[in-house]
Amino acid sequence: MPMSDPALDALMLPFASGQLAWPEAGALFLRARGGTALHAHAPRSLACEQSFRPEYDALGRAGFDVRAGGEDRFPLVLVLPPRQRDEARALLAQALARSLPGGCIVAAMPNDAGARTGQADFEALLGPANVQSKHKCRVFRAQVDGADAALAAAWSALDAPRPILGGRHVSRPGVFAWDRVDAASALLARHLPVTLAGHGADLGAGWGYLSDQVLARCPRVTSLDVVEAELRALDCARANLAAHAPRVALDFLWHDVAAGLPRRYDFIVSNPPFHALRGEPRPDIGRAFIAAAADALRDGGELWLVANRQLPYEQALAGRFPQVREVAGEGGFKVIHAVKGR
């Protein structure tokens, strides 16, 4: 059963109430995600663009016309802007670029995730909006003909990968820890042994920091699969790891780790996510990463994992790995080494 989603519920209000109708020429939903309201009120012909693989797969299973991206234009564009402001502004500019003349853009945001600021940005780009409030969210809509083209051009550039960390890497707003090395990944990197060898994988690789550390520190690694569910992050990882390509075979997999892995590995490193797309805590995602790693590792293969100390992963690890030890703990995080055996 699709889960409730207040922002999505608010986005569907104009359609549920009959204030808006679905155009015969089609409609586009940027950063689309499934939920009860979408299934109840949207036609399956709705073009749903989503760069996050679990949501992409779920929308496809539900029968929607799901895509990773595109350039075609529509008379109606729906969007759920994220909390990160540069990312949200770029998404609004994209919604405008994907709208036909005379078209309409509808957006919704939770009040506690920047709805007031989001509405201000929406109106700066498109002019005065029709606004409704419900489900502790705001839904705002406007026609596109009065849009500020110069502002749209400036905002559209905000999603482009940009140099971070003194220019050593590139990333983009909205990617996890997009402009820094998060403390958990840094802790894991410091404790990775230089003896890692053979074919490995980085699960939930983000913009590629851990993969870069593995390849820089472990000369016996011959190939590495960079596995990430967010395509916008995976594109950055591809750029950040290009310098290693002459020495190591690299593959970049846009994949939901929780669905299982298609290959076998000598080692796996991971800093699993523990929140879902909507922001709710999801320790089950980390447990799914552990199960996927256990299934994918060869006998004797190693898992190097970092997690928040309070996350209850020990039972999941003990059930799948005969050797489990905590290697380090610092700043509320723990590094765990597990070895797969017969």
The angle, 0 to 180 degrees and rounded to 10, between the axes of the packed helices 115-126 and 85-97 is: 40
Host H or E run for residue 341: none
Angle between helix axes 183-191 and 209-217 (nearest 10 degrees) is 20
Q: What sign does the dihedral 26-277-174-227 (CA atoms) show?
A: negative
Amino acid 181: pLDDT: 97
Where do the domains of the chain lie, and which CATH numbers do they carry?
6-157 (3.40.50.150), 162-339 (3.40.50.150)
Distances in Å between the Cα of 321 and the Cα atoms of 42, 63, 267, 317, 342 are 45, 38, 13, 6, 9
pLDDT of residue 342: 64
Q: Which residues pair with 105 in a beta bridge?
A: 77, 142
Reported as a single tens digit per residue, the pLDDT across 197-227 is 999 999 999 999 999 999 999 999 999 999 9
For the chain, what percent of residues have pLDDT higher than 90?
A: 91
Rounded to the nearest integer, the mean pLDDT of the chain is 94
Full-model pTM: 0.94
pLDDT at 279: 59
pLDDT of 227-286, one tens digit each?
999 999 999 999 999 999 999 999 999 999 999 999 999 999 999 987 666 556 677 889
Task: Note the pLDDT of residue 275.
Answer: 63
> For residues 202 and 269, what is the distance between their CA atoms, to the nearest angstrom?
5
Q: Is the pLDDT of residue 76 over 50?
A: yes
Phi-psi domain of 135 (left: phi exceeds 0; alpha: psi -120 through 50; beta: other): left
User: Which residues are CB-neighbours of 151 under 8 A, at least 6 positions away?
Assistant: 93, 124, 125
Give residue-wise pLDDT tens across range 125-159.
Answer: 999 999 999 999 999 999 999 999 999 999 999 99
Instruction: Quickly state the pLDDT bin for 196 (edges 50, 70, 90).
Output: very high
